[in-house]
Amino acid sequence: MNKTIIIDDNKYDILILKKLLEINHLSDDIMTFTSPLEALEYIKNIIPEQKSIVFLDIMMPEMSGLDFLKHVGALTQAKQNMFDFYLVSSTLDPVDIKKAQNDPNVKSLIHKPITTDILKNLLSQ
């Protein structure tokens, strides 16, 4: 079973994703953050025992998902390897798509709304 972290300033979107993961039995260990700063603190401080999947919203007022990844890029490689980042967005801004593709930590970019099919597809990879 996967460990999952959801970072999104929108509490409704957190709820949707969390429920989808639970209902479809895709993850049984889900942490959620509405504040990317708190999430970053958490990621900096934990010693991960297993690989985590991180769903990261792009547009957040405190810190954008792309800026968040810059901070992640400063962590040790061993630590970075413990997280698979999926960027989540409801916009189709080509600039964001390009940046996401260029970031080695990003597994892929997902457009909201996230569906059961999308999740099953991602997590079976």
Contacting positions for another protein (CB under 8 A):
9-10, 12-13, 15-17, 19-20, 23, 34-35, 59, 61-62, 90-91, 93, 111-116
Query: Which is nearer to another protein, 62 or 67 (by Cβ)?
Result: 62
Q: Is the peptide bond before 113 cis (omega within 30 degrees of 0)?
A: yes
Q: Nearest approach, Cβ of 106 to another protein (angstroms)?
A: 19
Query: Which is nearer to another protein, 5 or 119 (by Cβ)?
Result: 119
Q: Nearest approach, Cβ of 92 to another protein (angstroms)?
A: 9
Tokens for 116, please give them: 């059961």
Q: Nearest approach, Cβ of 49 to another protein (angstroms)?
A: 30
Three-class SS state of 53: strand
C-beta atoms surrounding 36 within 10 Å: 22
Q: Nearest approach, Cβ of 26 to another protein (angstroms)?
A: 12
Question: What is the bridge-based pairing of β-strands 52-57 and 83-89?
Answer: parallel
* Rg (the chain; Cα; Å): 13
CA distance 125 to 122: 6
Query: Which is nearer to another protein, 12 or 102 (by Cβ)?
Result: 12
Tokens for 102, please give them: 């260029």
Query: Which is nearer to another protein, 69 or 114 (by Cβ)?
Result: 114
